[in-house]
């Protein structure tokens, strides 16, 4: 699925805040070597190390085990996914991904080499995916749009072009007719969020409707809380 790994050097750190105010740091180099508090750990050992050495012994509401991954501009999404898969096997949850170059970016920021590197990394990754596999973080889409506007003409020419499939363009979404089995699937499956005419609703509200009440639907694919979510947009008939 992913045909490249752009990371010549990668730096990743996370902090786990618990009731004792203890912090753990995870650093990764070359998409291969992981350091936890300066201790080298192989990716295949990450689950075991986190489980045996870093998981809180007491599990209650005072112990927070959600992780925020802070990643460098050269981080490949493939390697992030591999680390997240290992973390899912522990008591930790990945709450969100923070790319340092994106988090630190503002309207007054200069378009540096690291920022352009992050721009290229994201676009190349999205291009490598099939259409139904492309899920987006809102902050990353906004970053891409803002950076492209700030680039000089030469920078735009010499770097990745904005793909027309990105949802930052105001194009008419693909309209699909609604079938009964889809209506039931959206109601029962937690992988879907539902909007009616642009407004998010509780799924129980769908019981007040039937498929023939709607003209069509379209899908937005988003990453929310590091979960891939299909947002179903239902459009009522006039």
Give 147-203 pLDDT, tens digit per residue. Answer: 999 999 999 999 999 998 998 876 667 778 888 888 888 988 888 999 999 899 988
Q: Please report the pLDDT score of residue 60 as a whole number.
A: 47
Q: Please report the pLDDT score of residue 171 as a whole number.
A: 67
Which tens digits make up the pLDDT trace of 32-87?
Answer: 667 666 677 788 888 887 777 665 544 444 444 666 677 777 777 788 888 888 88
For residue 26, pLDDT beyond 80 = no
Bridge partners, residue 71, by sequence: 12, 99
Q: Exposed, middle or buried by CB within 10 Å (0-12, 13-18, 19+), for 175?
A: exposed
For residue 19, pLDDT beyond 60 = no
Q: Which helix or strand (DSSP H or E) is residue 139 part of?
A: helix 138-150
Q: Please report the pLDDT score of residue 144 as a whole number.
A: 93
- DSSP helix/strand/coil, 7: coil
Q: Please report the pLDDT score of residue 148 as a whole number.
A: 92
Which tens digits make up the pLDDT trace of 98-109?
Answer: 777 887 788 788
Q: Please report the pLDDT score of residue 108 as a whole number.
A: 81
Average pLDDT over residues 209-216: 90
For residue 10, pLDDT beyond 60 = no
The span from the CA of 180 to the CA of 217, in Å, is 13
Domain ranges, ordered by start, for the chain: 12-102, 105-158, 180-236
Q: Please report the pLDDT score of residue 127 as a whole number.
A: 93
Q: Please report the pLDDT score of residue 4 as a whole number.
A: 38
Q: What is the 3-state secondary structure (H, E, C) of 61-124?
A: CCCCCEEEEEECCCCCHHHHHHHHHHHCCCCCEEEEEEEHHHHCCCCCCCCCHHHHHHHHHHHH
Bridge partners, residue 29, by sequence: 33
């Amino acid at each position: 699925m992913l045909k490249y790994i752009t990371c010549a050097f990668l730096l990743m750190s996370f902090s786990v805040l618990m009731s004792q105010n203890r912090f753990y740091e995870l650093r990764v180099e070359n998409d291969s070597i992981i350091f936890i508090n300066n201790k080298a750990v192989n990716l295949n050992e990450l689950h075991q190390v986190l489980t045996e050495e870093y998981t809180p012994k007491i599990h209650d509401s005072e112990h927070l085990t959600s992780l925020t991954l802070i990643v460098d501009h050269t981080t490949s999404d493939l390697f992030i996914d591999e680390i997240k898969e290992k973390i899912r096997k522990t008591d930790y949850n990945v709450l969100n991904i923070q790319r340092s170059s994106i988090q630190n970016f503002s309207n007054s920021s200069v378009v540096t080499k690291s920022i352009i590197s992050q721009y290229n990394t994201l676009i190349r990754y999205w291009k490598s995916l099939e259409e139904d596999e492309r899920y987006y973080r809102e902050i990353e889409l906004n970053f891409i749009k803002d950076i492209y506007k700030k680039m000089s003409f030469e920078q735009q020419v010499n770097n990745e072009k904005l793909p027309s499939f990105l949802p930052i363009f105001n194009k008419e979404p693909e309209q699909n007719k609604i079938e009964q089995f889809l209506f039931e699937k959206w109601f029962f499956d937690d992988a879907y969020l539902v909007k009616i005419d642009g407004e998010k609703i509780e799924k129980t509200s769908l019981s007040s409707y039937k498929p023939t009440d709607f003209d069509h639907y379209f899908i937005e694919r988003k990453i929310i809380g590091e979960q891939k979510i299909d947002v179903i947009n239902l459009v009522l008939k006039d």
